[in-house]
Structure 1
């Protein structure tokens, strides 16, 4: 089994690598090779019997995927992306990384006859927007209200069409907002959703740029990684004609997030948060829907978190507390 991962040096790619090496197999076959692509070489622990090839690539450059695809991977995880705020600030960069590189990846698969390769792309709740019903499902029309969501929506349609034509075995997982991300805040508009928990738990101050009555649709890093692994194993014949769907997150308000923080870490942790409204972030995040019917994902065996407390407790365990 040869598995390739773009965006492998990111936090999600790093966790996916760890999980795959822990399992040692995918689709019932032993993992023999991992090819990792990112702007910088992605680190990975040594694993007996697994050849790990890490490639530093600008995925917008011509031929960036050639070496990876020449190895005829059985599964490709396409995680590389310019995140929401950065894609909104720089249209050309967002298009080049989020859309053009995805098209180049699909064309590379087509030209090599990789029709059996399972391509799992991480999309986003940002693909939705505009006038929406109270509860959405996978077939709700996509009307993204920002460039990041638009670029993801275009990729979804392209992967669906290449799969319809039998050129690749594609699957798109729309990710809820991932909470709690480790590390430091990034350029994503949703970065605050992790920082208002992570920093206070670390004894540091954090800024909340949105109203506390704002709802978010969230999922833990653990469950997202398990969904990515499972996404490689779902048989293509049960996916149907439309291969993009929302993962089973949970809906929680910022106020409820802060109340969970208070319950687990005390009022002193909550007091480390400063409320400083940011209209730009509010406009982006406020356009994202928060309630979904995810029966299709449930039926295919994808699992979400039980509640928000479980998400925070998982972060504390993963942080060694």
Structure 2
């Protein structure tokens, strides 16, 4: 099954379409968490590994905000989850924020399996539980952190569903536009076929009439018929050009201006009722064919 296109990756460069408000909120979040991480670290005298992993988690969060490719985005989210989950307990759950953010990113990514965020959250819970055991932290703390991670998974899944719905709506709209375009082209193709069939058929009858009149010595009438054949050919060529313009989605050269008065619906025009013109033209050709002794045979 094909994966719908992610609406956040529709531009050729792969730059995510993010609003200024979203960028601002994430920047504020990074600044606030970094401030309290440094402040609490100085007060509680965090060991070096906490400083390193906390800094890595915050740096990955910042990289995630500026990521321009899907691989960098997913990699940054993975680092946020891995480094952040190791420092949740020492920082008194402060760095659970980048972990939750990373889970939201993984859950909302349409190019990843739907279970990716859930597996990552389960791994983060295991790391938090092991760290809590080593630090002799209460079970309630682990359960609270687990609830926050579950919330991140649910938020990511919700964003995924919104993106899928949006992508499907856009795809449906594109399919409808394509269907309308194909219908218009098919109709224009039929018009070209009808115009050429009528024009060439009428031209053949006129030339047959000219040939018969010349054989009978009726030169003047043959000349008149030749002029009618030329007019029929020119008229068919003009009709074919109009149909081709419609097939190419180009405006017709003689298309009336919107401010000009339009003919009433009941008035037959060449574009609105071509069948009536074709029928009258064929009637005239049939009469002309019979006038010099020709016979008409209709086959069903």
Report TM bin, short chain.
under 0.3
Instruction: Give TM-score, length-normalised by structure 1.
Output: 0.26
> Which one has a larger percent helix, Structure 1 or Structure 2?
2
Larger-gyration structure (1/2): 2
